[in-house]
Structure 1
Amino acid sequence: MKKVRPDNRKRWQLILLALLFAAPLVTALSLYYGGWRPAPKARGDLIVPAHPVADAELRALDGKAMRFSELKGKWSLVYFGPADCREECQHALHLMRQTHIAQHKNVVRVQRVFVLLDERGLGRLPATLKAYQPVTVLRGDRAVIDRLVAQFAVGGRPRPAGERRFYIVDPLGNLVLHYGPDLPPGSINKDLYRLLRVSRVG
C-alpha cells in the first residue's frame, strides 16, 4: 500500500482549507454579478435608485439664509407642513421626535427637518415648536418651495401636501425612503435603526 508523504498531506490540507474559505466568496460574487439581490426589508417606500435632491436657497425660522445642501452630513428625517401647525402637524412632529430619540447612541447622526409649505401663522410657530426641539425649520419663496416639493414626488409618489408623509434623506443628499400617512407605528424607527447600523456615512 502506497503511503501518503507528509508534504503531500500538508499540501492537500492547505488546498481544502483554501476551498473552504473561497467557496462563500465565489458563491456571493456569482449571485451578485448574476443579478440576484436580497428582498428589501424596508417598511417604507424604498426609492431605487436613490434620488439626489437638488440644492435650494431657503431660510431658517429666524430668517437667516440657509441652503438645503447644508443638511448634508447627517441622516435627515423630513416633513412638509404648514406654519400654522395644528393637531395633525404636531402629531407628525411628535412622531419625528420619538423616532429620533429612539436611535440612542446614534441620535447625533440624525436631524429632524420641518419644511414649511406656507408662512400663514408663522408668528405662532416658535411657541408650538418648543415641545419638539431640536428641529430645523426651512422656509422660502413660493416658487422655491414648489420646486423643492416636486423633488420629493419622484416615481409617481404623491406630492408632500401637509399630510402625514415623511422622508429620509441620506447624508449625501439623496432621497432614499418615503412613508405614507397610513404607516404602521414604529416603521420609520425600524428602518432608520437599520440604516444607521449598516451605514458608515453620516
Structure 2
Amino acid sequence: MNSPVKPKNNKALFALVLVFILPVAIAKLVLSMDLYNGAATNKGQLIPPEVSYQSLSMENPHPQSWQLLYLLPKDCLEQCQQRLYVLHQSHVALGKHQDRVSPIIMLQPDSDTAILEKLKVPFETANASQAIIAMMTEQQMIIVDPLGSLVMEYPGIIGEQENMAQGKSMIADLRKLLKLSRVG
C-alpha cells in the first residue's frame, strides 16, 4: 500500500532562510550604501594619529602627562580671555584627575604674556614651534596624550555660553580618555 506522495512543504525552509539570511543581507546593504553612521561619543575633532610633538618639530613640554594646549595670540582679547578661563576651569573640574593633566599655554614670539600675569592663574608655558603656530591659527584647544601625540581639538568659538559648553564637552572627552588610559 503506497501512500500518496505529498508535495514537500517548503514553508519551513523559506522561513529559516528569511530569519537568518535576510538580516545579514539588509545589514550588508545598509553598510555598503553608507546609511549607517557609527555612534561616536567624542565631542571634539579627532586629530590624525601621525600628528605629534615630534612631527611638529617640538619637544614635549610635559612628558608623561596629559596636556591641554592653547596658543596665546598676539592680542588676547575677549575670546582669548574666555578660552583661558575655560582652560583653567576645565582643569579644576577634573577633580582627582588634576594631577594627570597639565594645562599648557603655547607662546609665540609676540604673544600677549601680560594677560597671564593679569589673570593670576599659574599656567605652565612652553615656546611653540613654527609648525604648531601654523596649526593652531584659530584659537583652538588641543588634548595631547602622555606620549606626545595630539589627540583631539576643539575649534575656537565666540561667546561665553558656547565656550562654557565646549569646556564641558572637553572635560567629558578628557575623562573618558583618562579612564581608558594606561599611561599618564
The alignment's TM-score, normalised by the length of structure 1, stands at 0.60
Aligned to 1:51, the other structure's residue is in SS state coil
1:174 aligns with 2:174: no
Computing the radius of gyration over CA atoms, which structure comes out larger, 1 or 2?
2
* Cα offset, 1:81, TM superposition: 1.9
Give the match for residue 47 of structure 1.
47
Aligned length: 140
1:54 alignment partner, SS class: coil
**Aligned counterpart, 1:115:** 106
What is the Cα deviation at residue 87 of structure 1?
2.1
Partner SS, residue 52 of structure 1: coil
Distance 1:74 1:99 in 2: 16
Tell me, yes or no, if structure 1 residue 85 matches structure 2 residue 60. no
| Contact 1:50/1:176, CA 8 A, preserved across alignment | no
* Deviation sequence 1:84-113 (CA, Å, 0-9, x none): 433221111110111111111111000011
Matches within 5 A, 1:117-196: 117-119=108-110, 121-122=112-113, 124-130=114-120, 132-133=121-122, 135-139=123-127, 145-150=129-134, 159-161=135-137, 163-182=138-157, 184-185=165-166, 186-196=168-178
Paired residues of 1:84 and 1:125 also in contact (CA < 8 A): no
Equivalent AA in structure 1 for residue 131 of structure 2: R
Look up the equivalent residue of 2:174 and give its one-letter code: L
- Give the alignment's Cα RMSD to 1 decimal: 2.5
Spell out, residue by residue over 1:109-163, the C-alpha distance to the aligned partner (whole angstroms, 9 max, x if none). 00011112332554x2452241x22x111236xxxx322334xxxxxxxx312x3
Mark the runs of 5 or more structure 1 residues left unpaired by the alignment: 1-37, 58-66, 151-158
Which structure: greater strand fraction? 1
Cα 1:98–1:127 change in 2 (3 A) is same
Aligned to 1:60: none
Is residue 71 from structure 1 mapped to residue 47 from structure 2 by the alignment?
no
Poorly superposed stretches of 4+, deviation over 4 Å: none
Q: Closer, same or farther in 2 for the Cα pair 1:128/1:47, shift >3 Å? A: same
CA distance in 1, matches of 2:72, 2:51: 21
Consecutive unaligned residues of structure 2, counting only runs of 5 or more, are 1-37
Is the partner of 2:156 in helix, strand or coil? coil
Identity of aligned residues (%): 31
SS in 2 for 1:167: strand
Q: How much has 1:45 moved relative to structure 2?
A: 0.4
Is contact 2:68–2:102 with CA below 8 Å preserved after alignment? yes
**CA–CA distance in 1 between the matches of 2:41 and 2:111?**
39
